[in-house]
Amino acid sequence: MGLFHYNIEKYSPKQLVIIPLVLLAISLVVLAYVTLTAGMPVRPGIDFSGGTAISVITPDTTDQIQATFTGYPLVSISQGLNNGKFITFGPMSDTQYQSLTALVESKYPDAQINQIGESFGKTLQDQAFIALIIAFIGMAIVVFVSFRTFIPSVAVVLSAFADMVMTAAMMNVLGIQLTLGTVAALLMLIGYSVDSDILLTTRVLKRQGKLNDKLAGAFHTGIIMTSTTIAAVTVLLIVSWAGQVEVVEEISAVLLMGLFFDILNTWLTNVGILKWYVQKGGGK
C-alpha cells in the first residue's frame, strides 16, 4: 500500500476504540467545566459575548497600549501588518464606553471603533448554536438514509460527534475563542468528518472480499484524501500566521485539529465498531 500500511487484524474491536473513547470522555469533562465557568462549551469571543473592537495603526507596543487603557475591560491586543493593532474590550457600561470612545478619538484619531451589544451577541450565539445543531442533525439523517443499517450509521455519527467534541475541547486548551469564524470552521468540519467515514463504511458494507483487505483499501484511499486536505490547511495556517490574519489563522487551526482527530476517530473508533458489526454477522 505504498507509504501507508494499515493492518488491524491482531487488534480486537475493544482495543481499537478504547483510546478514542478515553479522549472523548476527557474532552466532555473539559467542555462541561468550561460550560460551568463561561456559560458555553467553548469560551466565547467578542462576536458572542459582546464588547468593543478597535482597529488602529500605531507604533505603540502592547505594554504601552495596556497602560493607555488601564481601567477598561481590555481583553486582547492582536498584531497586524504595518503596525496595525486590533484591540478588543469586554462589555462595559454606557458611561465607560463613552469615556473609552473619547480617549480613543483623542489618542488615535484615525481608529475604527465597532461595538457589539451584549444582547446582540447573545442572539448571534443562539443562531450559531442552532446552525450547528441543524447541520449535525441533517448530516445524521443523510447517513441513516444512505446506509439504512443502524450500527454502521451510528458509528459514522459517533465519529463525527467525537471530532466536534475533541476539537472544541482543544480550542479551550489552546485559548481559541468561539467566534463567527471558528463556528464556520466547525460547520466545515462536519462535512470533512463524514467524508472518510462514508468511504470506509461503503467499502466495508457494499464490497465483497476479506474484511482486513477492505479496511486496508479504504484506509489507503482515505488517508491520501485527508493528508491532501491537511497539507492545504497547513499552508493556509502558515500564510495567515505570517500575514497576521487572525480570523483565517483561527479557522485553519480549528480545521487542522479536527482533521487530525478525524483520522483517530475514523480509523480506530469507526473501524472498531464496523469490525465488531461484521464479526457478529452484519454486512456482506
The stretch 108-115 carries a mean pLDDT of 83
* Mean pLDDT lowest among 80-94, 188-202, 245-259: 80-94
Total domains present in the chain: 2
Whether the CA torsion 67, 70, 72, 75 is positive or negative: it is positive
By residue range, what is the domain housing residue 275? 13-45+119-280
Among 74, 92, 116, the domain boundary falls at 116
Could you tell me which of 233, 212, 228, 165 has the C-alpha nearest to residue 28? 165
Residue 234 in domain:
yes
DSSP state of 268: I
pLDDT score at 257: 95
pLDDT score at 234: 94
Confidence category of residue 262, pLDDT binned at 50, 70, 90: very high
Please name every residue paired with 86 in a beta bridge, in sequence order, or none if there are none: 55, 78
pLDDT score at 1: 42
pTM: predicted TM-score of the whole model, two decimal places: 0.82
Does residue 68 sit in the same domain as residue 93?
yes
Residue 8 in domain:
no
In this model, does residue 70 exceed pLDDT 90? no
C-alpha cell at 108: 488615535
C-alpha cell at 3: 507509504
Confidence category of residue 282, pLDDT binned at 50, 70, 90: low
In this model, does residue 267 exceed pLDDT 80? yes
Does residue 73 sit in the same domain as residue 139?
no
Among 116, 131, 157, the domain boundary falls at 116
Does residue 127 sit in the same domain as residue 248?
yes
The stretch 76-94 carries a mean pLDDT of 79
For the CA atoms of 191, 234, 159, 200, what is the dihedral angle to 10 degrees? 80
Residue 5 in domain:
no
Residue 25 in domain:
yes
User: How does pLDDT run across 15-61, given as a tens digit for each residue?
Assistant: 889 999 999 999 999 999 999 988 889 888 887 877 888 888 888 88
* Higher-scoring residue by pLDDT: 83, 194: 194
User: How does pLDDT run across 121-175, given as a tens digit for each residue?
Assistant: 778 778 888 888 898 898 889 888 888 888 989 999 999 999 999 999 999 999 8
